[in-house]
Amino acid sequence: MTTAVCCEEDEADLLKVVSGVHDLEDQTEESETLIESVTIHEDYDGFNLFNNICMMKLQAALASER
């Protein structure tokens, strides 16, 4: 999930999720996952930013290191 502002101009095939970065100076443990589709809240208002929510369906599950 992210803000609709982040999704409104982009197509899903241009987006990716980066996870696992805890130190922006050292991104060696990051994991990238591509986005399959995005769905912006049906009542999103880009002027007032009401309902500023975008759901992203990932192409694969995020890697978990627990």
| Average pLDDT, integer, range 21-33 | 75
Overall pTM surpassing 0.85 (yes/no): no
User: What is the pLDDT confidence band of residue 10, given thresholds at 50, 70 and 90?
Assistant: low
Lowest mean pLDDT among 41-45, 46-50, 59-63: 59-63
Tell me the two tokens of residue 51.
Answer: 């309902």
Residue 55: per-residue pLDDT? 93
* Cα(18)–Cα(53) distance, integer angstroms: 19
Tell me the two tokens of residue 5.
Answer: 């502002």
